Structure 1
Amino acid sequence: MLLAIDAGNTNVVFALVDGREIKARWRIATDPRRTADEYAVWLSQLLQLEGFTRDDVHAVIVSTVVPRALHNLEVLASKYFRTDALIAGRAPVEWGVTIDVDEPASLGADRAVNTIAAHALHPGDLIVIDFGTATTLDFSDYSGAYKGGIIAPGINLSLDALVAAAAKLPRIAIEAPATASVIGRNTVDQMNIGIYWGYIAMIEGLVARMKREVGRPVKVIATGGLATLFERHSDAFDAIEPDLTIQGLAIMAERAHIGA
């Protein structure tokens, strides 16, 4: 089976994939100082709890936006899984799609991988919204070519900045307000309205502007842990794909005939 690793700014997600079927997934806080040995102890125990061993892993593929984390993940693959880690975007698992922007090399690996997965699952022009540390909105055309997008602060990052900068504001949980009212009667309600409905307004507004600029029908795909939270109160999304990056890594490995 394939061990797919998505190293983001907040979490590293590990998934055991058979073909395109995700058998198990785990996440751990991103820490570039975490060694291959630490990963191995943690991961070996989790594999065992799911009924697997390290011997079940025949290939490892990594997508990362944290360059300092890559070395220890490569050591993990070679030392504990006896294979060289495949790095998304490098031979033999190149993108295989056109990155049609001014600085192609600057595009985050997760955004390229998401584009690949989204077009394997949904035809046509697409906007992919990924709710992560940053919230990204990426447009790719019907041919699968990545054409550009938007980077905005993630909702947790926005809340952290608000609480850090305003001494009297408390830390609150991000959740849908109890009512549809946008006139809060107390501090916590007002913060919740501002964060939740403000974020939905931003997403809906940016999606509407992107659609107008494209000028053709566009399908909107959402991914990331908070996508389902916003789906309940917005019609901006046409589909939710919670494992889009992992699916993209599996597709890339499959196309390179790796991971069987």
Structure 2
Amino acid sequence: MLLACDVGNTNIVFALMDGREVRTRWRIATDARRTADEYAVWLMQLFSLEGCSFDSVETVIVSTVVPRARHNLQVLGEKYFGKPPIFAGEGGAGWGIAIDVDEPASLGADRAVNAIAAHDEQPGDLIVIDFGTATTFDVIDFNGAYKGGIIAPGINLSLDALVQAAAKLPRIAIEAPSETQSVIGRNTESQMHIGVYWGYVSMIEGLIARLRAEIGRPAKVVATGGLALLFDEQTDIFDVVDVDLTLKGLAILAEKASKPAR
């Protein structure tokens, strides 16, 4: 069994996987100060609830955009799973795709992993949207090369900035409006819901239209991340929604790393 660890700026997702199939996943807030022992105590209880043990894990793979979290995850793999983790993009788990941008080394591991998984599952030109702390748009051509993309503030960041900057605005939950809801808000909260939700949908649709126009060929849109399903309710811009895209990419890299070098 594979233990895949996707370290984002806000959360870390740990997933137990059989091949490319996600058996179960758990989420914990990202904290670079959290020690390997703390991770192990938390994971041990969750493994037990699933009827699994640490001995069932054959491989650990990590994708991280938080460099300070790396050391403790390295120790976690070595101390509690008896094997050093594979780090996405390194050694036998190198990307294996062209990173056709000005500064290839600056590309976030999560975005490269998403590109690998999307190209593996979908033919042709692709636009991958990942709804995380930031919302990223990534362009992958029909050969699987990463061509660049867009970074926009995540919807939670946008909402936090709005609430913090305007003293009288309340904190609201992000949710899809009802089908009958007017876009003319009648109170402060409804106006905020409309502005945040429909404003974000409009941004997504507008940027996708511009990307497709520049690509100049049909491009399928693949959405991932926790909020992808929320936006899929009110727009038909996504061709595929796959919340496990990053985990599948990590499984692909783990398979690649396990093959003997030729």
Aligned residue in 2 for 1:237: 238
Match status 1:137 vs 2:137: yes
Aligned length: 258
Q: Distance in 1 between matches of 2:57 and 2:86?
A: 13
Does structure 1 conserve the Cα–Cα contact (< 8 Å) formed by 2:226 and 2:243? yes
1:181 is displaced (CA, Å) by 2.1
Structure 1: which amino acid aligns with 2:118?
A
Q: Secondary structure at the match of 2:183?
A: coil
- SS state at 2:91 partner: coil
Superposed, 1:148-159 pairs within 5 Å as: 148-159=148-159
Aligned to 1:98: 98
What code does the residue aligned with 1:139 have? V
Instruction: Give the Cα–Cα distance (whole angstroms) in 2 for the partners of residues 177 and 99 of structure 1.
Output: 39
- Aligned partner of residue 92 in structure 1, secondary structure: helix
Q: Do structure 1's residue 161 and structure 2's residue 161 form an aligned pair?
A: yes
Contact 1:177 1:189 (8 Å CA) reproduced:
no
Distance 1:193 1:253 in 2: 42
- How far 1:180 moved relative to its partner? 4.4
Distance in 1 (alpha carbons) for counterparts of 2:22 and 2:28: 17
Match in the other structure for 2:37: 37
SS at match of 1:256: helix
What is the CA distance between 1:60 and its match in structure 2?
Answer: 0.6
Distance 2:245 2:71 in 1: 24
Q: What secondary structure sits across from 1:52 in the alignment?
A: coil
Q: What are the residue-to-residue correspondences of 1:45-194 with 2, within 5 Å?
A: 45-178=45-178, 179-194=180-195
Q: What's the CA shift string for 1:228-256, capped at 9, x where partnerless?
A: 11111101100000011100000111122
Q: Deviations over 1:142-166 (max 9, x none)?
A: 0000000000000001000000000
- Alignment match, 1:213: 214
Across the aligned residues of Structure 1 and Structure 2, the Cα RMSD in angstroms comes to: 0.8
Superposed CA deviations along residues 11-52 of structure 1, whole A, max 9, x for unmatched, are 000001111111111010000000000000000110110010
CA distance in 1, matches of 2:121, 2:242: 9
Contact 1:131 1:154 in 2 (8 A): yes
- State TM-score, norm by structure 1: 0.98
Aligned counterparts of 1:205 and 1:87: Cα–Cα separation in 2: 35
Secondary structure of 1:127 counterpart? strand
Alpha-carbon contact 2:92-2:256 (below 8 Å) kept: no
TM-score normalised to structure 2 length: 0.97
> 1: distance between equivalents of 2:108 and 2:19?
25
Identity rate of aligned residues, in percent? 71
Consecutive unaligned residues in structure 1, runs of 5 or more = none
**Quick check: 1:2–1:17 contact (8 Å CA) kept in 2?**
yes
Decide whether the 8 Å contact of 1:223 with 1:242 is kept in 2: yes
Contact kept, 8 Å, 2:113 with 2:246, in 1: the verdict is: yes
- Separation in 1, partners of 2:132, 2:79: 30
Q: In the aligned structure 2, how far is the partner of 1:213 from the partner of 1:254?
A: 34
Residues 16-25 or 165-174, more deviating? 16-25
CA distance in 2, matches of 1:90, 1:255: 11
Asked if structure 1 preserves the Cα contact closer than 8 Å seen for 2:2 and 2:58, the reply is: yes
Give, in whole Å, the separation in 1 of the partners of 2:181 and 2:136. Answer: 26
